[in-house]
Amino acid sequence: MKVHQLHVYWSEEKKNNYIRHATREYEIHKSLDHPRVVKLMDVFEIDKNSFCTVLEYCRGSDLDEYLKIHKVLSERESRNVISQVFSGLSYLNQQENKIIHYDLKPGNILLSDGQ
């Protein structure tokens, strides 16, 4: 679950633009179904300046956390991670309207137990 805060000092126009963009993004995300793309379960408003997104639970950690502990990946592990990331990105690229991730980083690469 992630809480999104709209800055209270934003103009109403900026808030509305952000909400419109986020709503479109979440509608697209809800339609995706691939084992390498985390599912969006729900989006709901908390109050006029915040809303929440609920994502599929993924047991394990992320690549950033893993690298902080282990420092490096073996070549085999690296190939496995890259292959799975490419699988998810390829799926996004195969959509009728191509989807760009925009925030691909180790902290957003989830490592599920045993995968």
Q: Count of alpha carbons within 13 Å of 95, Cβ hemisphere only?
A: 16
Catalytic residue among 33, 47, 103, 113: 103
Contacts of 93 (CB under 8 A, 6+ apart): 99
Residue with tokens 């957003």: 108
Number of Cβ atoms within 10 Å of the Cβ of 85: 16
103 catalytic per annotation: yes
Residues with catalytic annotation? 103
